[in-house]
């Protein structure tokens, strides 16, 4: 027990790799064995995360469960892990969604072993980003996660569909999507890598907690430029990398493609966790490393967030493809996360008690919204996958009146949609309310404009329910589609329980988040 | 049990019933309705206990039942939520408990419990009826049980929970939670028969129209929270300092105080929820749901919640009233919207032939009364009318459901399914066939029309008219006109439905409904009369003061300062008598002899074009379609999805990719291939060529090799000799 507790974060980070190795040595033709072993093994990180959650003391400032081992002494980079309330929440989300996503991919028939191995590596990559307190290793894990995701989309993505690129050239949709996802994110990471190297060289360390003090205290000039200019450039290098990942409007167009073409489990993780990496980057790195720049450019970020909220909702409403509709809803929902972060950024360093409270509430809302969106988006993508496996279409106009055929599925779809819509009583409302409350005194106009997006959230959610479940039954499906099965229920029910639980009693999770964000002000 | 504990338990039974039914008992119809009605009964008894304990407390407004717990952390403090019973809550709870219970019981009969399964019934569509054989082997068409019977009880259970939660909340946030849960339930229940495209359109229309109001209300809530640091009703509204601060702080909009802007934002929420103009369009379409749902929406819960909220927030609406002159901006706004809606909806109701649609517009109109009353400062009058209206409107809707049931029975008998059982032009003479429904409907109708002295509607409406006469004569004139129309269309409805001779064979074969449907009618009829007697003004001629004006005393105590009772004035009383009796008489005389093939007399009186305008509800649906919905679709589908995302943003990305491709090709074709590959190739190609030409001498013949060796030796020998010689 002692050894587990002392190395808890390292264990959480690398048990997925262990799982991948175990799966790798299983015989390839034993597909069921591979599936069940993967499923069972994916509970180890989850169990460790729950243990971590129980042992974590929210009121204690700073990082906990820290471990620091020299990794590359010449450039003063070390393997340094640690959690605070924000990363803890994200770790829990990641380890929670992975078993569910693995269970959801039991229908994968093709190269099961490779799929599962890639999945565990993906989990490790994401966890690394949340756990790392070393800037260089942060970047390593940041990039690492891309590779498994690329292959998941490229190899196991939807087999139908083509995309025209230019000059009448057509490529398979999943090739297009995976390529766009990979290249776009890597293009964003380019500036991030340069900025990280620059910071490391200038500050003489890559250790994030040390950088909080050293890098921000830097004065004078660098490379013949005033330090402010250098910092501004580095700020934008960071901000654009994270903005692409979130994604913030107008960097969002990779998302609907990647989500739509990815396999169900891939979409669940992509929407559930991968998007949070960007928002987490803002929280963990951008705000503490660039307080002055964050403040100066908070208005821009807030504006882009509002655009994401409004146009994400509108675009979602305008889709004819069920999965694309859900994909665009992520742009809309993540807009609230960024809006909350921007509002908090704007108040950094201000000596105003009421504004500090608002900023805390906005950040509480933003982090909770990250968690909530992880639940609801994963749930929605899973439900799209369930209906797709039965109908082999994602075209909303081809469903119609399915509710009598699949009453349980229908009820679950309405429930999950309502969580996504932010219905009071479910999780999404608490976080959206906190963001709106927090940003109102800071960005009043933006908050008011965000309401347009909130309205259209209702429109697209109801459109999806209407097209899939309601209206005259499309006789084509009568007798051809089956009710949601036990395995699928096992995937969605934990998510539903959490949605209701957080909606009714949010204190258990907000308590942890609140302590973490309160320490900033 | 202490009252405080009881308060927490009050909303729980219906929501537990919801979960029990959808998770476990949905297969059993009798289990499901037992659980739901049982839950409603539990909440009902609990409410009655709380209510009677509440009325015994002297100065309940100063010493309310209150209890709260921390809900979630906000920085260094906690957001607390709790339950509160002050006088306003107590009277609201009273009507909610009664109407909810009555609607639950009524639903058992309405959904044909105990009838056979339908022949072709399918979930998502209304039951079409079943064929049964009697002992003589003859086949009869009879009503069939609702296929989604259990689901209905689950949904109204959740609906009732939403209303209880909203009424009992001690803060605006949990009120909003209840508010939105009811929004969801009305969505689910309006579209209960989701297989019908009309119901599907109506459910979405209801949800989205109210959501317009909701997002404004959310802003009002966060603004209030930002300003005061709390959303607790008593901390804000029983605190003159806070109210003065709100009234004295300028808001973001020039000329409005913070209280003014908050008040207006919150009131826009009510415009949506209580279907006030211009967001009234959803309520008439909400008729697509089963009739008990209409009663739930129109009386017990949904729209009453909107009015309840503004009554609750009245101290903010009126904050700063004594500082300036006259009404505050939110109050003025409410007075205008309310009075206009009252008249506007009444004119539409005059030209409707669907029995439920008439009632729907009357609801909009009556809610306008309450809003207008609040706008001119009639706090007690608004609350009073809210309660009496809930009783008589629940009665009228349940009564209309009973009528429709009777008519459906006639339709099953004749087999002519082209007859719309809700169309009043096919009715008539039902008083003999359905006596209980008739008498109770008559009571409800008279209460709606404000029939003098006897009915509850008279007393509450009279109080609104008296208030408006005293404070805003213009509002008084509009409301009086609306009252005239109300009496007229009510009597038109009663005459067309119940009086005279049957206008169709179906009406001739209508039968009275079962006791589960008529019992609630009788009980509601009791309150539709007697509840008004609790609010007879002290100064009323002859009968004033016999029964104390309990409503004014009790409900007025909600406010920090008890509102003064108005002195008696003859003008509103006489107006009230004239418009009520005049309208009723006119309605009777015009419609008593109308046959089904005859033109509607109103059409003759108004002229065809004006009549068509009213019949088509001033074309608001068409107008909104043209100016909001179609452009919004364009904005979403064409502008955002196609132009902005696919053409512009992806276009730029593809351009980048294209340019990268061009650069790559250039590098390959102009540099890599000719220069780098070329120079490398030259070496290899040269070696290859040299090898190729040299290989011709590799013949494999030893003789040739020997000759070659000798020749080479000679040549090299000569060469070396020459070199040595030269030195």
Question: In this predicted model, what pLDDT tens digit does every residue of B35-48 receive, in sequence order?
Answer: 999 999 999 999 99
Q: Is B77 in a helix, a strand, or coil?
A: strand
Q: Which residue has the tokens 């996360």?
A: A337
**B176 vs A358, A424, A469: nearest CB:** A424
- Shared domain for B378 and B459, answered yes or no, is yes
Contacts of B252 in chain A (CB under 8 A): 444
Same-domain status, B155 and B245: no
- Asked if A7 and A131 count as a contact pair (C-beta separation under 8 A), the reply is no
Q: Going by C-beta distance under 8 Å and a sequence separation of 6 or more, which residues neighbour residue B593?
A: B500
Same-domain check for residues B238 and B278: yes
Instruction: Region of B252 please: left (phi>0), alpha (psi -120 to 50) or beta.
Output: alpha
Is A431 touching B (CB cutoff 8 A)?
no
pLDDT confidence band for A91 (50 / 70 / 90): very high
- What is the extent of the structural domain holding A363? 290-521
Of B350, B494, B520, nearest to B431 (Cα)? B494
**A188 inside 8 A of chain B by CB:** no
B 506-525 residues inside an 8 A Cβ radius of A: none
pLDDT of residue B322: 66
Q: What is the pLDDT of residues B655-689, one digit of tens each?
A: 888 898 899 989 888 888 888 888 888 888 888 88
- What is the Rg, in whole angstroms, of the alpha carbon atoms belonging to chain B? 38
The position carrying tokens 């709390």 is B230
Is 90 exceeded by the pLDDT of residue A223?
A: no
Q: Do A454 and B653 touch (CB under 8 A)?
A: no
- Say which residues have a Cβ less than 8 Å from residue B654's Cβ, sequence separation at least 6: A165, A166
Chain B hits for A466, CB-CB cut-off 8 Å, are 200, 204
C-alpha dihedral, A31 to A35 to A37 to A42, nearest 10°: 160
User: Is residue A162 in a domain?
Assistant: no
CB pairs under 8 A between A and B: 157
Quote the longest CA-to-CA distance of chain A: 74
The runs of H, that is alpha helices, within A56-172 are 85-104, 112-131, 135-144, 146-156
B100 and B78 inside one domain: yes
Residue B576 lies in a domain: yes
Task: Give the residue on A whose Cα is nearest the Cα of B230.
Answer: A437
B669 touches chain A (CB under 8 A): no
Domain end call among B281, B298, B324 = B324
Contacting residues for B668 by C-beta, under 8 A, at least 6 apart? none
Alpha-carbon gap, residue A254 to A329, rounded angstroms: 14
Residue A477: inside a domain:
yes
Residue A43: how many other CB atoms lie within 10 Å: 16
Specify the pTM.
0.92
* A514:B207 CB<8 A: no
Write down the pLDDT at residue A47.
94
Query: Considering the domain boundaries, does residue A296 fall inside one?
Result: yes
Interface test with A, best of B166, B177, B265, B652 (most A CBs within 10 A): B177
Most B CBs within 10 A among A470, A496, A500, hence the mutation to make, goes to A470
Residues B512 and B363 in one domain: yes
Alpha helices in B139-196 (DSSP H): 149-168, 172-190
- Cα B592 from Cα B596, distance rounded (Å): 12
B166 contacts: CB under 8 Å, gap ≥ 6: B174, B175, B177, B178, B179, B182, B305, B308, B309
Please check the confidence at residue A227 and state whether its pLDDT lies above 90: no
* Nearest CA distance, A77 vs chain B (angstrom): 35
d(CA B64, CA B54) in angstroms, rounded, equals: 8
Q: How far apart are CA B621 and CA A208, in angstroms?
A: 59
Chain A from 94 to 123: CB within 8 A of any B CB: none
Q: What is the reported pLDDT for B602?
A: 80
Q: Count how many Cα atoms sit within 13 Å of the Cα of residue B503 in the half-sphere of its side chain.
A: 23
Residues of chain B short of pLDDT 70, as ranges, are 322-325, 727
Q: Which residues pair with B169 in a beta bridge?
A: B83
- Let me know whether B356 and B479 are in one domain: yes
Mutate to test the interface with A, among B127, B645, B654, B664 (most CBs of A within 10 A): B645
B:53-92 residues touching chain A, CB 8 A cutoff: 70-76
Chosen domain end from B274, B304, B324: B324
Element (H, E) at B362: helix B355-375
CB contact under 8 A, B219 and A437: no
Q: Domain for residue B552, yes or no?
A: no
| Cα(B25)–Cα(B9) distance, integer angstroms | 22
Degrees (nearest 5) of the Cα angle A204, A208, A213?
70
Contacts from A124-127 at CB under 8 Å and sequence distance 24+? A124/A13, A124/A14, A124/A16, A124/A17, A124/A20, A126/A94, A126/A269, A126/A273, A126/A274, A126/A277, A127/A12, A127/A13, A127/A16, A127/A45, A127/A91, A127/A94, A127/A95
Domain-embedded: residue A363: yes
- Please state the domain count of chain A: 1
User: Are residues B282 and B365 part of one domain?
Assistant: no
Is residue B123 within 8 Å of A404, Cβ to Cβ? yes
Cβ A419 vs Cβ A487: under 8 Å: no
* pLDDT (0 to 100) of residue A237: 93
Nearest to A253 among B122, B229, B649 (CB): B649
Q: Is residue B263 part of a domain?
A: yes
- For residues B101 and B224, state if they share a domain: no
Query: CB-based contacts of A190: which residues, under 8 Å, 6+ apart?
Result: none
Tally Cβ neighbours within 10 Å of residue A347: 25
Of B197, B640, B655, the CB nearest to A472: B197
- B312: in domain: yes
B residues 119-148 near A, CB within 8 Å? 122-124
Q: Who among A166, A252, A507 is closest to B71 (CB)?
A: A507
CB proximity under 8 Å: A 468-507 to B: 469-473, 506-507
d(CA B498, CA B494): 6
Is residue B134 situated within a structural domain?
no
Same domain, yes or no: B149 and B29: yes
Task: Report yes or no on A335 lying in a domain.
Answer: yes
Determine whether B417 is exposed, middle or buried from the number of CB atoms within 10 Å of its CB (0-12, 13-18, 19+). exposed
Q: Chain B partners of A411 at a C-beta cutoff of 8 Å?
A: 22
Q: Tell whether omega for the bond before A250 is within 30 degrees of 0, i.e. cis.
A: yes
Between CA B225 and CA B219 the distance in angstroms is 10
Based on the fold, state whether residues B91 and B224 are members of the same structural domain: no
- Taking only the tens place, the pLDDT of each residue in A283-327 is 999 999 998 889 999 999 999 999 999 999 999 999 999 999 999
Distance between B73 CA and the closest CA of chain A, angstroms: 6
Q: CB of B33 within 8 A of CB of B113?
A: yes
B177 touching chain A per CB within 8 A: yes
Residue A223 lies in a domain: no
Residue A100 lies in a domain: no
From the list A317, A451, A470, the residue facing B219 with the nearest CB is A451
Mutate to test the interface with A, among B24, B200, B249, B272 (most CBs of A within 10 A): B200
Helix (H, G, I), strand (E, B) or coil at A222: strand
CA distance B264 to A388: 46
Q: Is A458's CB within 8 Å of B71's CB?
A: no
As for how many domains chain B has, the answer is 4
CB-based burial of residue B685 (10 Å sphere; 0-12 exposed, 13-18 middle, 19+ buried)? exposed
Pairing of strands A162-164, A170-172: antiparallel
- A455 in contact with B, Cβ within 8 Å: yes
The pair of three-digit structure tokens given for residue A320, joined into one six-digit string:
């004819």
Q: For residue A343, which of A246, A449, A446, A252 has the smallest C-alpha distance?
A: A446
Distance from CA of A363 to the nearest CA of B (A): 10
Select from B298, B324, B350 the last residue of a domain. Answer: B324
The CB density around residue A165, as the number of other CB atoms within 10 Å, is 18
Q: Do B78 and B165 lie in a common domain?
A: yes
Residue B159 and residue B15 share a domain: yes
Q: Could you tell me if B128 and B144 are in contact, meaning their C-beta atoms sit under 8 angstroms apart?
A: yes
B616 lies within 8 A of chain A by CB: no
Q: Does A144 touch chain B (CB under 8 A)?
A: no
Range of the domain at B525: 334-530+566-597
> What's the token pair of residue A129?
């980003």
Does B269 touch chain A if contact means CB atoms closer than 8 Å? Answer: no
CB contact under 8 A, A403 and B124: yes
Q: Are B310 and B334 in contact (CB under 8 A)?
A: yes
Q: Does A458 touch chain B (CB under 8 A)?
A: yes
Query: Looking at beta carbons, which residues of chain B come within 8 Å of A447?
Result: 219, 222
Strand bridging mode B77-85 / A77-83? unpaired
A357 interfaces chain B, CB cutoff of 8 Å: yes
B215 contacts A165? CB cut-off 8 A: no
Which of the 8 DSSP states describes residue B133? E
């Amino acid at each position: 027990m002692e050894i587990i507790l002392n190395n808890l974060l390292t264990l959480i980070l690398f048990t997925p790799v262990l799982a991948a190795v175990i799966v790798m040595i299983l015989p390839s033709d034993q597909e069921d064995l591979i599936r069940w072993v993967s499923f069972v093994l994916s509970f180890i990180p989850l169990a460790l995360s729950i243990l971590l959650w129980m042992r974590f003391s929210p009121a204690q400032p700073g990082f906990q469960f820290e471990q620091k081992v020299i990794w590359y002494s010449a450039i003063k980079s070390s393997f340094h892990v640690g959690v605070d309330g924000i990363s803890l929440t994200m770790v829990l989300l990641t380890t929670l969604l992975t078993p569910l996503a693995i269970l959801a991919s039991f229908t994968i028939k093709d190269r099961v072993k490779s799929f599962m191995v890639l999945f565990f590596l993906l989990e490790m990559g994401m966890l690394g980003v949340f756990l790392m307190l070393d800037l260089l290793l942060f970047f390593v894990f940041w990039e690492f996660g891309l590779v498994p995701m690329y292959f998941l989309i490229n190899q196991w993505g939807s087999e139908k569909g083509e995309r025209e690129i230019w000059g009448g050239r057509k490529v398979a949709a999943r090739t297009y999507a995976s390529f766009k996802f990979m290249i776009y994110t890597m293009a964003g990471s380019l500036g991030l890598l340069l900025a990280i190297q620059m910071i490391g060289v200038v500050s003489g360390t890559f250790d994030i907690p040390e950088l909080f003090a050293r890098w921000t205290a830097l004065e004078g000039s660098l490379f013949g430029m005033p330090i402010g200019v250098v910092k501004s450039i580095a700020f934008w290098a960071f901000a654009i990398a994270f903005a692409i990942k979130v994604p913030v409007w107008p960097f969002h167009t990779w998302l609907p493609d990647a989500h739509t073409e990815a396999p169900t489990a891939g979409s669940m993780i992509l929407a559930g966790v991968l998007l949070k990496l960007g928002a987490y980057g803002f929280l963990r790195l951008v705000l503490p490393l660039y307080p002055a720049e964050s403040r100066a450019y908070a208005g821009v970020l807030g504006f882009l967030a509002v655009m994401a909220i409004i146009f994400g909702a509108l675009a979602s409403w305008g889709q004819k493809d069920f999965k694309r509709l859900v994909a665009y809803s992520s742009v809309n929902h993540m807009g609230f996360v960024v809006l909350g972060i921007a509002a908090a950024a704007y108040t950094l360093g201000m000596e105003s008690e009421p504004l500090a409270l608002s900023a805390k509430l906005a950040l509480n809302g933003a982090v909770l919204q990250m968690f909530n969106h992880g639940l609801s988006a994963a749930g929605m993508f899973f439900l799209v996958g369930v209906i797709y496996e039965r109908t082999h279409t994602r075209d909303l106009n081809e469903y119609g009146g399915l509710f009598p055929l699949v009453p349980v599925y229908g009820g679950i779809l309405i429930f999950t949609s309502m969580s996504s819509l932010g219905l009071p009583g479910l999780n999404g409302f608490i976080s959206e309310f906190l963001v709106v409350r927090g940003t109102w005194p800071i960005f009043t106009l933006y908050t008011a404009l965000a309401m347009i997006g909130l309205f259209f959230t209702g429109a697209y959610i109801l459109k999806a329910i209407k097209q899939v479940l309601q209206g005259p039954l499309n006789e084509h499906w009568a007798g051809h589609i089956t009710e949601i099965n036990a395995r699928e229920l096992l995937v969605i029910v934990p998510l539903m329980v959490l949605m209701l639980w957080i909606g009714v009693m949010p204190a258990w999770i907000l308590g942890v988040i609140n302590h973490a964000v309160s320490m900033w002000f | 049990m202490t009252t405080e504990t009881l308060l927490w338990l009050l909303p729980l039974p219906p929501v537990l019933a919801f979960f029990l039914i959808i998770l476990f008992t949905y297969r059993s119809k009798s289990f499901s309705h037992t659980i739901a009605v049982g839950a409603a009964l539990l909440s009902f008894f609990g409410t009655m206990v709380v209510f009677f304990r509440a009325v015994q407390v002297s100065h309940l407004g100063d010493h309310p039942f209150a209890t709260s717990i921390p809900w979630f952390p906000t920085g260094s403090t906690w957001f607390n939520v709790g339950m509160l019973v002050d006088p306003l809550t107590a009277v609201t709870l009273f009507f909610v408990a009664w109407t909810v219970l009555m609607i639950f019981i009524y639903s058992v009969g309405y959904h044909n419990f105990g009838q056979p399964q339908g022949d072709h019934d399918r979930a998502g569509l209304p039951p079409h009826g079943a064929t049964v054989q009697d002992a003589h082997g003859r086949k009869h068409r009879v009503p069939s049980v609702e296929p989604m019977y259990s689901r209905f009880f689950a949904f109204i259970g959740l609906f009732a929970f939403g209303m209880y939660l909203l009424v009992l909340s001690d803060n605006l946030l949990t009120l909003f939670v209840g508010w939105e849960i009811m929004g969801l339930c009305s969505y689910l229940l309006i579209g209960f028969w989701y297989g019908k495209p009309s119901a599907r359109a109506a459910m979405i229309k209801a949800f989205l129209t109210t959501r317009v109001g909701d997002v404004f209300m959310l802003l009002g809530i966060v603004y209030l929270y930002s300003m005061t640091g709390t959303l607790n009703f008593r901390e804000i509204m029983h605190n003159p300092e806070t109210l003065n601060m709100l009234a004295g702080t300028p808001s973001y909009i020039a000329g409005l105080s913070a209280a003014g802007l908050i008040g207006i934002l919150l009131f826009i929420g009510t415009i949506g929820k209580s279907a006030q103009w211009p967001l009234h369009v959803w309520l008439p379409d909400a008729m697509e749901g089963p009739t008990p749902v209409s009663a739930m929406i129109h009386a017990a819960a949904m729209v009453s919640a909107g009015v309840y909220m503004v009554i609750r927030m009245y101290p903010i609406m009126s904050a700063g009233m004594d500082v300036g002159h006259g009404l505050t901006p939110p109050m003025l706004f409410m007075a205008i919207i309310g009075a206009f809606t009252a008249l506007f909806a009444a004119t539409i109701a005059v030209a409707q032939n669907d029995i439920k649609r008439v009632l729907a517009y009357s609801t909009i109109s009556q809610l306008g009364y309450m809003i207008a009353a609040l706008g001119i400062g009639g706090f007690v009058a608004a609350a009073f009318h809210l309660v009496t209206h809930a009783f008589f409107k629940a009665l009228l809707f349940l009564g209309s459901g009973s009528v429709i049931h009777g008519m459906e029975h006639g339709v099953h008998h004749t087999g002519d399914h082209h007859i719309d059982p809700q169309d009043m032009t096919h009715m008539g003479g039902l008083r003999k066939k359905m006596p209980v429904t008739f008498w109770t409907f008559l009571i409800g109708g008279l209460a709606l029309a404000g029939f003098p002295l006897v009915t509850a509607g008279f007393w509450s409406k009279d109080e609104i008219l008296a208030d408006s006469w005293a404070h805003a004569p213009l509002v008084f004139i509009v409301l009086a006109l609306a009252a005239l129309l109300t009496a007229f269309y009510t009597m038109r409805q009663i005459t067309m439905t119940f009086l005279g001779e049957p206008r169709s064979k179906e009406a001739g074969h209508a039968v009275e409904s079962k006791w589960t449907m008529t019992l609630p009618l009788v009980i509601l009829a009791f309150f539709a009369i007697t509840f008004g007697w609790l609010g007879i003004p002290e100064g009323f001629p002859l009968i004033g003061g016999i029964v104390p004006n309990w409503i004014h005393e009790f409900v007025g105590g909600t406010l920090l300062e008890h509102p003064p009772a108005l002195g008696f004035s003859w003008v509103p009383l006489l107006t009230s008598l004239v418009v009520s009796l005049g309208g009723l008489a006119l309605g009777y005389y015009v419609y008593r002899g109308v046959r089904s093939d005859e033109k509607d007399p109103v059409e003759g009186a108004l002229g065809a074009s004006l009549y068509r305008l009213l019949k088509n509800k001033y074309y608001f649906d068409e107008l909104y379609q043209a100016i909001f919905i179609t452009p919004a679709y364009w904005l979403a589908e064409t502008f955002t999805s196609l132009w902005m995302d696919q053409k512009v943003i992806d276009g730029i990305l593809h351009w980048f990719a294209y340019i990268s491709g061009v650069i790559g090709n250039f590098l390959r074709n102009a540099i890599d291939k000719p220069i780098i590959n070329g120079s490398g190739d030259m070496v290899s190609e040269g070696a290859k060529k040299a090898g190729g030409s040299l290989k011709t001498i590799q013949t494999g013949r030893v003789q040739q090799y020997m000759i070659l060796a000798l020749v080479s030796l000679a040549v090299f020998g000569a060469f070396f000799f020459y070199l040595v010689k030269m030195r």
